[in-house]
Amino acid sequence: MVPGDLHYTKEHEWIRVEGDEAVIGITQYAADQLGDIVFVELPDAGGALEQAATFGVVESVKAVSDLFAPVSGEVTAANDGLGSKPEVVNTDPYGEGWMVRVRLADAAQLDALLDAAAYEQLIAEG
């Protein structure tokens, strides 16, 4: 079940636009594939994201995955709560399990991302 109001990357990040800012996380599909998530490494507020570049790491018990930035922008907040409760990425990836909030550098970059239907098709193909 993929929320309809978000944009997605092929690497399984989601992004929700809120005015000139956006919130980024990983999808339920990604969290399920990784298994029990035990650690999330995120950039500090003030850092910069560059579209398609890595900006962090998510670790499960037996896997590790880079986080890819869906868009460029300045980090205005990182989800510090994941430090003590990384499991919320598994239980609530689109809500409490969000990762960073960014100020969008170029809203046009969103056009390059997948919509919900396209992402659903991507994961259906495995």
Partner 1 sequence: MPYGPHAADDRARMLETIGVGSIDELFEDIPAALRAGPLRLDDPEPELELSARLIRLAARNRVDLASFLGAGAYRHWTPAVVDQMLLRGEWYTAYTPYQPEVSQGTLQSIYEYQSMLAELTGLDVVSASHYDGGAATAEAALMTCRATRRERILVSRGVHPHYRGTLETYADGAGLIADEIPLVADGPQAGTTDLEALARLLADPARPVAGVVAAQPNVLGLLEDMPEVGRLAHAAGALFVSVIEPVSLAVLAPPGEYGADIAAGEGQPLGIPLQYGGPYLGIVSCTEALVRQIPGRLVGQTTDLDGRRAFVMTMRAREQDIRREKAASNICTNQALLALAASVYLAAIGPHGLRDVAAAGAARAAELEAALAAAGARRLHDGAYLNEFVVRVPDARGIHARLLERGVLAGIPTADLIPDEPALAGGLLVCATEVTTTAEIELFATALQAELADALVAGGAR
Partner 2 sequence: MSVVGERLQPTLFELSRPGRGGGKIPHPPAGALDRIPPGALRANSPALPELSEPDVVRHYVNLSTLNYSVDSGFYPLGSCTMKFNPKLNEWAARLPGFAGLHPMAPDALAQGTLELLFELETMLAEVSGMEAVTLQPAAGAHGELAGILMIRAYHRSRGDLGRTDVLVPDSSHGTNPATASMAGFRTRTIPSAPDGGVDLDAFKAALGAKTAAIMITNPSTLGLFERQIGELLEATHAAGALAYMDGANLNAILGRFRPGEAGFDVMHFNTHKTFSTPHGGGGPGAGPVGVRANLVPFLPSPRVLRDGDGAYRLERAGERPTSIGRMRSFFGSTGVLVRAYAYIRAHGASGLREVSDDAVLAANYLKARLSSAYLVPFERACKHEFVASAADIKHRTGVRTLDIAKRLIDKGYHPPTIYFPLTVEEGMLIEPTETESLETLDGFVDALLEIAREAETEPDTVTSAPHTAPVRRLDEATAARQPNLRWRGAPCVLAPCPD
Amino acid letter, residue 55: F
Candidates 39, 43, 51, 74; binder of partner 1 (CB under 8 A) is 39
Quick check: 39 binds partner 2 (CB under 8 A)?
yes
Quick check: 62 binds partner 1 (CB under 8 A)?
yes
- The shares of helix, strand and coil residues in the chain, as percent rounded to the nearest 5, are 25, 35, 40
Amino acid letter, residue 92: D
Candidates 10, 46, 50, 64; binder of partner 1 (CB under 8 A) is 64
Candidates 38, 45, 48, 52; binder of partner 2 (CB under 8 A) is 38
| Cβ atoms of residues 99 and 77 within 8 Å | no
Quick check: 93 binds partner 2 (CB under 8 A)?
no
Quick check: 111 binds partner 1 (CB under 8 A)?
no
| Cβ atoms of residues 123 and 11 within 8 Å | no
Candidates 11, 21, 74, 87; binder of partner 2 (CB under 8 A) is 87
Q: Which of 118, 116, 121, 117 minimizes the C-alpha distance to 7?
A: 116
Q: Which residues bind partner 1 (CB under 8 A)?
A: 38-39, 41, 59-64
